[in-house]
Structures are given as structure tokens and as C-alpha cells.
Chains A and B, each alone.
Chain A
Amino acid sequence: MTEDNQVLSKSAFNFEQCLKCSICTVYCPVSAVEPNYPGPKQSGPDNERYRLKNPEYFNEALKLCLNCKRCEVACPENVKVGDIIQEARIKYSTHTPGLHDRMLANTDFVGTLAHNFAPLTNFALKLAPTKAVLHSVMGIDKHRTFPAYSFQTFEQWYRKQAEEQERFDRFVTFFHGCYANYNYPQLGKDLVKIMNVCGYGVHLLEKEKCCGVALIANGLSGQARRQGEVNMKSMRKAVAKGEPILTTSSTCTFTMRDEYSHLLGIDNSDVHDSLSLATRWLYRMIEDGKLRLAFRDDFKMKTAYHSACHMEKLGWIPYSTGLLKMIPGLELIMLESQCCGIAGTYGFKKENYERSQKIGSPVFKQIKEVNPDCVSTDCETCKWQIEMSTGYSVENPISIIAEALDVEKTRQLNSQTRA
């Protein structure tokens, strides 16, 4: 059945397939709390027709979009509603990024400055006067608790033990991302621990830059593209070595797999399939019988799993939850899949803070009702938001697995599979 006749009617992001059914509106977290946001249907495919005629129809209110992609997840016609909105912002917005946009978006720059003075930075960031200054001068809401910076970055820790990694004969490459690097190297160490115990050495990318998701959201897509090209170059080298590129952040993965090509015009087709969330890679290796995990008898935990927006968009939640379900002592409760409200740098800005908290309040409410030992999720900003807003601790599934792992038994099982 050829579709030659229909080729011409294929529109960018499928916007002509929109039926105006309004299902996207039902699932938009912003639309539910913010009447000033035109909503996904109007901001996306409806308005696109007008914008194609005349760019003056672009509305700066589109910046209220969280880029959560839940509109796309819900759409029955496969219209890329979120992409249409983001692309319109990139193409038509005349808003120049302000200082707080640049600061929040440049995680590498701020991370480097902040971690070098970590004890001082962390202390200062907790003080009310500092927060007041950040609030009034920088527009960063005073209610926000900044995640602590680590004095030693993950990369610095890695370099100290890089030689250790070379004693393995099989490798994976790890894209660690800004969060693990500057704020929480423990997550990177947990990933390395699991890999090493399973018989895999871990390499880093030759040169790693922030994935750029915050740059795209803050109107700095040119810089995002440049950083993307650096990452692409490094990833191609890893792929050439035959090493899968693993990540521990759902948003970094989603950005580099989807947003690079959809929004930044970067051709990533040669690395796309090699790039995967670590939980997905582990699950599939176990499924194929190439890797085995054993867990401690004394490990007990009740965890509530939060479905991060980009994880829902990737469709990979079954991998993370499937992996967690392999731990005998773990009780897994699935929270209703909803946006936590922070949307990366969005929720840090004072003009968005209240909205963010309104959006996330059903999530916080359900967590308190479930009362788990900890919450689990694959996204680091969800982790900050939930920790800040509920007081419950939040762990990446990789950290839970690393903690539950029976190291000796796992090592034995994997040396057997190799034999």
C-alpha cells in the first residue's frame, strides 16, 4: 500500500493530524492551574497555522509551557504538540535571556564555580539573606533550596581511580550529567559500583558538556547546539569503540536522543541507539541472560516510584520499575503518573514558583498518603522538588540497586556467565 499521494500532506511535527480533540488540554499540568497559559492545543497546532502566515501571532505566554511533553504522551494522533511549542519559542521569541536565565541554564559554569567553594557555597545558599538577594536580584525564588554542591566532582573522583577501570576487559561509557558531577557524585559512584561488580569497566566521554536541556528552555539554543556537537563528537568515539553510552538521568537521555534532532537540528542518528538509560541497559542484558544481579537478604525497603515526565515520554518506565521489582525485599508502589511541577530550571524562577508548587501538589499529597521509606525516580530535578516539598528522601533506581546489591554473589554469577 503506497502512500505517495499523501507524502505532501505530512506536516512538521504532524501538526496537520491534530483533530482539535482537546485531550492534550486534559493532561497539561500548566493548563490546570494557570489561565494565562493558552494551553497546549492553542499554543501548539492551533496557533502554528497563524504563525506560519505571520510570525507576529507568536505569544510570549508560550514560555509558561514546562516542556514536559505530557501533551504528546496523551495525543491520540501522534502530534508532537510539545515540540511545536518549543520550536515556536526558538524561532519566534524575541525575549533576550536575562541574567537568571543564563545562570540557571549554564550548569557547567555555575557548577564549576560553586563546587570549588562547596562548603562555603552550601552554607551561604542556606542563609536567608543570600536567598533574599537571589530572589530580588536574580529572580530565583527564595523558597527554593539549592541542592548542595560537592567539593569533589564526580569527574575528579573518577580520574583518581581511572586506572582501576582499565583492569576490566569489557567497558561501558558513562555520560554522568551535571547533577551527578557537581551535586551528587554518589550516584555516579553507584553506577560504577554496579558495572564493576558485573564485570564491566566504566569509561567517561572524552569531553562531556551539559546536555543543554536548560539552555534550550531558556532561549539559549545556539549554545545548546554547540554543546550538543561536542557531546556528539565524544559519543561517536565511544560508539566506534563499541561501547554503549549509559546515563542515570531521564532528562539528559531524552534531550540527547530526541531534542537534539527535533529542536536543535543535530543529526544524532549514528549514536541514537547506543545511548540508553543505565536501567534500560541492565534490564535488557538480564533479559538476554548476559548479566545477572543478586541482592542482599537483609535489604528491605518500601519505595514509591514517581514517573518523571520525560521518562513517561521515553516510554522506559517498565525498565526502571522492572529492575526494581527484581529486588526481593523491595515493596514497589507506583504513584499516579503526574508532573511534580519543577520542570528543571522553570520552578526555580520566582515568577514560576507558586505555579510549580500548585502543579506538584497532587504528587506531594499522594506521597504523604503512601508514606514510603523513600521515593524513587529517574530524574534529578524531580528528586529536588519532592525532597524540598515533602521532606521524603528520593533515590535514583541505580542508587537503590547499588545499595541492595549482594556484591560477592553478583560478582560470582557474572564471572560464571562469562565462562
Chain B
Amino acid sequence: MKFDTIIIGGGLTGFTCALTLAKAGQNTALITAGQGTLHFNSGSIDLLGYDEQGQTVDQPLAAIAHLSQEHPYHKVADIATLATEAQALLANVGLPMDGTAERNHYRLSPMGVSKPAWLTLPGLVQSADERTLPWQKVTFVNIAGFLDIPTEFLVDNIRRKGTDVELKRFTTPELEQARRSPSEMRATNVAKVLADERALRKVAEAINALQADGEVILLPAVLGIANAKTEAGLEQLINLPVRFVATMPPSVPGIRIQTRLRQSYQQAGGMFSASDTVTGGVFQENRLRYIVTENMPDERFYADNFVLATGSFQSRGLMSNYQGVFEPIFGLDVDASDKRTEWTRAYVYDAQPYMKYGIRTDKDLLTFRKGDRIENLYAAGSVLSGHNSLKLADATGVDMLTALQVAHNILNR
């Protein structure tokens, strides 16, 4: 099979890159071993949340300029422009986002902690600063038996922000039915139950019957795996404004982002392989000629350009064993210490060196293999070295912006 570009990895990075290339008229294929870490995403995209000194960042565009040279943002030619393009890409797939790259706003974690964010799905709780919420009093309504929200922590932390919380819970026959399996009553299954209009109407009735006293009703984000229609439907039926609070994973807002990106890519004509592992490829004169996969071992996938968007350790884009850190598909060069003792710090909350490990790229995001640059194999996203998704809160921004940069680099060849 022959394509203009083949993208390896089906997460935020892979789909951002693939969709951009497909819309520009390229014949593309995206091959992924499984689903990606957007399933744990709370519905926000981060550009830069904290600087390398650990300070919360207020203006990410300004702060990015001060990041050390190894950071992948320095390989993005024009951050502001690509940030705007990323926001437009999401809007075009049916995900209009609140927020601006000039100034961070704050999202609310399931525990009730305010964290800086660049873009957030409308409807999720947002505030302009870390210490307060935009209400004097809220009513937090949970579904009886839904365990993926730590209610006491959430309520306690909201109160510490000076907002009064009234705590209520409700149930309906459909939700009671789902509750019979506590291990499977996850946000995604609740979303599927409530996709039915009658079930949703009963939820609205039950919530209205609570006679909430707050300015808004806060609900766990359990609506709308594929789009925001169910949320809109519920908001119309409830007599108070409704806002949603991110849950523990599996996270419905994150899955909505994944689903919309994947569907848009397929609608744009891209070939999508949902469950295939790339096992290797053939290199010739510093170019990757073709790759092979587990499900189609006798097939050769040729392309002019390839993009590696396989993620970090969780997604197996990077792996480690007693001998070192490595990139498992092609054995690309990695920026990592070969001394295992240097990988970690003893105190788990310190910045961990391994978090910055990743594959080495040049200024155009081209990769290296045994010291030689591979002229048509790009890399983007969490697989890149030099960033720290925990300490800098930069993961999803690095994903989208490096994905767009690679797409531009390819289209400009």
C-alpha cells in the first residue's frame, strides 16, 4: 500500500497531524496499536502551566520563550500562530474550546484543585484565577453510586475557595440498573445510558426535584461521548445553569475529543487502522522506505514521509528495561541517560529525569538512527524529549503544536 504520509500512533498528536495533512489533500494512513491517553484527559488542553522553576504560568506565550533550549516548543516556528490553528482545528471538528493562548484560565480537577489550562471544553467548570470560583454558592449533585468522583475532597476544596457548596445526590431507574455493577458504573457507561432521551428526561426531573439552592448545578462530566448534544439537551430541561466537573478516568470529555478527531479524520478520507502494531521498517540511504505491521505482515506500507506519534512510556512509544531506555519500533536514538540510577529521584514528587526522556530530533523534528538523521521520518508529541507533562503541564500543547509543525514541515517540502 502506498501513501503520501503514514502516521504511527492514534492519539491527540497522531490525529492532529493526520487530519491536517488529509485536509490539505494528502493520501494518508494512520495506524495505531490501541486507544490513546486522551481517555484520561479531563477536557482541557495545556500550553504551559508551570515554568521550569515550578511557578504557575499566567501568560504561556511569554513564558515559553524562557524555556530551556531542549524543550520541543523551540522547534515550533511560530507558537502563537500554531496555537490559533490548533484551536481552529478543534472547532472545525465540532469541539469549540474556551480560552486563549495569551493568558491561562483555571480548570477544576476531580479533587477540586484549580489547575492552569489553555483551552477547555465549554460547560466544564472554569475560573479566571486559582483561588476562587465564579460563584458564591453552588449545588454539587452526584449520581448515587457513581464512585469516580471523590466527593468529599471536591466539596472541601471548593469551600476553601470561598464558595459555599450544597451537596445532593439523586438516582433514576436506569441509573439504579447501571449501579448494580459498581465496577462498571464508569462515566462512559453512564454516558451511554443517558444517551437515551427518556432516561435523560428522568435525570432532569430528578435534579429539578432536588430544589437546588446554589447559583449553578455542578454535575460530574458524564454526558456526551461523541458530541455535546446530550449536555445541551439536559441544560434545556434544568431550571438552573449547569456546569460539569471532570471525573476520574475513563473521562468522557477526553474521549469526546478523541472520538471527534478520529471521526473527522475518517470522514476526510484518511485510512485508519484501529488495532495494528507497527513492528519495524526498512531503511535505505537514510530514508525510511516502508514499514510492516503485525496484522498485515506481508504488506509493505510505503510513504513519502512518516510521522512517529507513539507517545511516551504509558503508550509504549518509549520503553525501558534493565539495560536502557529505547524506542521499540525502529530503535531510534533517544535522549536518555544509560545509567539507570540517574533515571529517578528518590522523592516521587520531585521532577523525575525520566519524564524528559524521549527521542532525539533536529530543528525540523526529524529523527536519528545510530547517529544518522532519517530524512523522511518525523516525530511529534509525547515521544519527543525535553518536556515534562507533569511538572510543566505542557503535554497536550506539545502534542498539538509539534503535530501541526510536522504537518507544515511535510507540506512545505
Q: Which residues of A contact B (CB under 8 A)?
A: 1-3, 5-6, 19, 21-23, 25-27, 31-33, 35-39, 41-42, 72-78, 273, 284, 287, 312-316, 318, 334, 336-337
Contacts and interface: CB of A to CB of B under 8 A. Distances in A.
B39 A23 contact: yes
B178 A23 contact: no
Contact of B322 (A5, A73, A78): A5
A36 B184 CA distance: 9
Given A21-B39, A25-B189, A315-B295, A72 B275 contact: yes
Contacts of B1: 287, 318
Contact of B183 (A23, A26, A33, A39): A39
Nearest to B315: A76
Contact of B180 (A25, A36, A42): A36
Contact of A77 (B34, B263, B271, B299): B34
B314 A25 contact: no
Given A25-B250, A78-B34, A316-B295, A5 B181 contact: no
Interface in B167-203: 177-181, 183-186, 188-189, 192
Nearest to B271: A318
Contacts of A35: 177-181, 184-185
A23 B181 CA distance: 17
24 contacts: A2-B323, A6-B321, A21-B250, A25-B184, A25-B188, A35-B178, A35-B179, A35-B180, A35-B185, A38-B181, A38-B184, A73-B34, A74-B35, A76-B33, A76-B315, A76-B316, A78-B33, A78-B316, A273-B297, A284-B299, A314-B295, A315-B276, A316-B296, A318-B273
Q: Which of B34, B184, B250, B326 has the most CB of A within 10 A?
A: B184
Given A35-B178, A76-B34, A316-B296, 8 more contacts: A1-B321, A21-B249, A23-B250, A25-B186, A35-B185, A73-B274, A76-B37, A287-B1
Interface residues of B, number: 47
B321 A3 contact: yes
Contact of B250 (A1, A3, A22, A312): A22
B189 to A, nearest CB: 6
A374 B299 CA distance: 30
B40 to A, nearest CB: 7
Nearest to B176: A35
Interface in B239-279: 249-250, 255, 263, 266, 271, 273-277
A31 B39 contact: no
B183 A42 contact: yes
B324 interface: yes
Nearest to B322: A5
Given A5-B322, A77-B316, A32 B266 contact: no
Given A23-B250, A35-B178, A312 B274 contact: yes
B298 interface: yes
B14 interface: no
Q: Which of A23, A39, A42, A287 has the most CB of B within 10 A?
A: A23
A210 B110 CA distance: 52
Contacts of B294: 315
Contacts of B331: 1
Interface string B297-330: 1110000000000000011100001111010000
B273 A315 contact: yes
B282 to A, nearest CB: 17
A37 B39 CA distance: 22
B181 A334 contact: no
Contact of B184 (A6, A19, A39, A318): A39
Contact of B266 (A1, A76, A316, A334): A334
Contacts of A313: 275
B295 A74 contact: no
A72 B34 CA distance: 8
Given A5-B322, A21-B249, A273-B298, A74 B184 contact: no
Nearest to A273: B298
A113 B207 CA distance: 58
B116 interface: no
B36 interface: yes
Contacts of A27: 35
